[in-house]
Amino acid sequence: MTTREPPEHPQHTTADDTGPTAALATARRHVELIDEQILLLVKQRSSTAAAIAAALQARGEPAQELTREGEVFDRYTAALGALGSDMAAALLRMPQGLTLRPTDSLLHACLGPPGTFTESAARTQLEPGSELLYQPSVADALASVRRKQATWATVPIENSLAGFVDATLDALAQGEPLTICSELVLPITLVLASRPDTRDLDDVQRVASHPHALAQAQPWLHSHLPEAVPVAAPSTAAAADALSTTTADYDAVLCSPQSATISGLRVLATDVLADRAAMTRFITVTQPGLTPPPSGHDRTHLTVFTPGRGSPWELGIVLTEFARQGVPVMSVEPRPLTSGFGSRYYHLDCHAHITQPGMRRALLTLRQHRIDLRYLGSYPAVDPSTANPDPP
């Protein structure tokens, strides 16, 4: 590599060029030359890392080497502190085809239409200058990030009453890898709403909403509308919008108070979840490479693929290794694969950061066992007890 060496001494000057002004000009030129060298090295590092990723993919191996990335992160952090953490995150992101800032798109995808709880969560995560991009499903929201139509997507991943959101787990496990960069917990308030001409609950025979909302409200429905038929909808707001604008095949919806107002519906009941502390955890997802630094209270998501009837042994190896390294695994969520009975993947929620030594040692050992893992992100966890209040 040929680079220009910064001058060690000021060049020849006349009497008028001497003094503080000339010294300042020389120092500035020195910095410019150093910047040129840094930029050249950054470009060379990016192209070399991209070549490594291509070679790994050609061998059928994951393009992201999590253990090596953790070592890079540690080395930069040890040398430069917080600045080093930011530099390492940016450098590790560049081979994925991204710039240091997401300037190619300022769109933030979320589950639409307007009025969803996901929209409320996404609005709290908007970067300056970004706008919401409404999508009809969780899979579509994540797909918009994969094709770089949007830079971020906010989607629900878990509800305190109904458990994990299967559509989110499946969409994260399939397709090109994405990275979870943050989370937010919001309390959920549901109302039962219908068309303005609906008189009372006696007129309600079919109730539509998102499957998780139906599950959350099941005790109330069983008590107040035991004969009502539940109807699944893409989102709570989509159910409300369809009821107000089309001849929907249901009489009422479970939705947010905001969504009922937007759709011009009449609220029939406001205490649908009065006795249940319902909260939903939302995640914000972006392209791989940018990992927030450790906060001391972090969450890491992993997917373990076990495509075979003897595969439960592989999950045992994973859990045993994490336990041996002192990595808490807080939940294991099984999901079926499309390759037949007995084939499945497991979503792991670990309370640790990807850069922690125990986590890195566990991942290295599992790679040696040729366990098929997908890293989904590592980020500061949010305590549900400190959840933000309902948005206005």
Length in residues, the chain:
392
Rg of the chain's alpha carbons, rounded to an integer? 26
What pTM, to 2 d.p., does this model score? 0.70
Task: Give the sheet arrangement for strand 229-232, strand by strand.
Answer: 229-232, 206-209, 252-255, 191-194, 266-269
**Residue 86 has what pLDDT?**
66
Domain with CATH 3.40.190.10 in the chain: 104-186, 191-269
Of 111, 140, 133, nearest to 241 (Cα)? Answer: 111
Could you give phi then psi for residue 227, rounded to 5 degrees? Answer: -95, -5
**Residue 57 has what pLDDT?**
57
For the chain of 392 residues, list the mean pLDDT of each consecutive stretch of 10: 48 54 82 81 75 64 60 72 68 52 69 90 88 94 93 93 90 91 91 92 93 90 93 92 88 92 92 77 87 86 75 80 93 79 82 88 86 89 56 32
Residue 374 forms beta bridges with which residues?
303
Q: How many CA within 13 A on the CB side of residue 22?
A: 11
How far is 226 from 231, CA to CA, in rounded Å? 14
Max CA-CA distance within the chain?
98
- Type of residue found at 237: A
Domain with CATH 1.20.59.10 in the chain: 20-96
Q: Count Cβ atoms below 10 Å from residue 359 Cβ, excluding itself.
A: 24
Contacts of 379 (CB under 8 A, 6+ apart): 180, 181, 182, 183, 291, 292, 298, 299
**Residue 103 has what pLDDT?**
40
**CATH superfamily membership of 20-96:** Chorismate mutase (1.20.59.10)
291-384 maps to CATH 1.20.58.1030:
no
Q: Count Cβ atoms below 10 Å from residue 107 Cβ, excluding itself.
A: 18
What CATH number does the domain located at 104-186 have? 3.40.190.10
Of 294, 292, 348, nearest to 92 (Cα)? Answer: 292
> Do residues 236 and 159 lie in contact, with contact meaning Cβ atoms separated by under 8 Å?
no
**Residue 290 has what pLDDT?**
64
Q: Which two three-digit tokens encode residue 15?
A: 């009497």
What is 191-269's CATH number, 1.10.1740.10, 3.30.200.20, 3.40.190.10, 3.40.228.10? Answer: 3.40.190.10
Exposed/middle/buried for 166, CB within 10 Å: 0-12, 13-18, 19+? Answer: middle
The DSSP line for 20-69 is: HHHHHHHHHHHHHHHHHHHHHHHHHHHHHHHHHHHHHHHTT--S--HHHH
Exposed/middle/buried for 345, CB within 10 Å: 0-12, 13-18, 19+? Answer: buried
